[in-house]
Amino acid sequence: MLRVSRMTIAAYLLPTFLVIALIDLYPIFYTFNLSFTNKSTFNTLDNSYHYIGVKNYQYVLQQTGGDFVQVLLITAFYVVVCVALFAFLGLITAMAVNHPRVRGKGFWGNALILPWTVPTFVTALIWKFLYNYNFGPLNQIIRLVTHNASAGILWLDQPTPAFIAVVIANIWMSYPFFMVISLGALQSIPADLLEAAQVDGASGWQRFRYIMLPLLRPALLPATILSAITTFQMFNTVYLITAGGPFTSGNINNPGATEFLMVYMFDRIQNNGNFFVNYGHIATVAVLVFIVLFALTMMSLRFTNLARETKR
Among 73, 84, 102, 299, interactor with another protein by CB under 8 A: 102
> Measured from the CB atom, is 19 or 84 closer to another protein?
19
Among 135, 205, 275, 276, interactor with another protein by CB under 8 A: 135
For residues 166 and 263, the answer to whether their CB atoms sit within 8 Å is no
- Using the contact rule CB under 8 A, the part of the chain among 52-60, 69-77, 127-135, 251-259 near another protein is 127-135
Among 54, 193, 213, 306, interactor with another protein by CB under 8 A: 306
Name residues contacting another protein, limited to 226-265 (CB under 8 A).
226, 229, 233, 235-236, 239-240, 262, 265
Cα(200)–Cα(192) distance, integer angstroms:
12
Determine if 296 is a binding residue for another protein (CB under 8 A).
Answer: yes
Name residues contacting another protein, limited to 73-92 (CB under 8 A).
89, 92
For residues 237 and 173, the answer to whether their CB atoms sit within 8 Å is yes
> Minimum distance between the CB of residue 93 and another protein, rounded to whole angstroms?
6
Determine if 193 is a binding residue for another protein (CB under 8 A).
Answer: no
Among 66, 129, 154, 206, interactor with another protein by CB under 8 A: 129
Q: How many Cβ atoms sit within 10 Å of the Cβ of residue 110?
A: 10
Cα(212)–Cα(214) distance, integer angstroms:
6
Cα(162)–Cα(157) distance, integer angstroms:
7
Q: How far is CA 3 from CA 196, 202, 214, 301, in A?
A: 50, 55, 41, 29
Determine if 166 is a binding residue for another protein (CB under 8 A).
Answer: no
Residue type, 186: L
Cα(122)–Cα(45) distance, integer angstroms:
40
> Measured from the CB atom, is 111 or 249 closer to another protein?
111
> Measured from the CB atom, is 162 or 169 closer to another protein?
169
Ramachandran angles phi, psi of 40, nearest 5°: -150, 180
- Using the contact rule CB under 8 A, the part of the chain among 23-31, 48-56, 76-84, 250-258 near another protein is 23-31
> Measured from the CB atom, is 69 or 251 closer to another protein?
69
Q: How does DSSP classify residue 184?
A: H
Determine if 137 is a binding residue for another protein (CB under 8 A).
Answer: yes
Determine if 130 is a binding residue for another protein (CB under 8 A).
Answer: yes
3-state class of 88 per DSSP?
helix
> Measured from the CB atom, is 106 or 250 closer to another protein?
106
* Helix ranges, 188-278 (H): 191-199, 204-207, 213-232, 236-242, 261-270
Q: How far is CA 69 from CA 83, 108, 231, 253, in A?
A: 21, 43, 18, 15
Determine if 6 is a binding residue for another protein (CB under 8 A).
Answer: yes
Number of residues that bind another protein (CB under 8 A): 112
> Measured from the CB atom, is 250 or 276 closer to another protein?
276
Cα(130)–Cα(172) distance, integer angstroms:
13
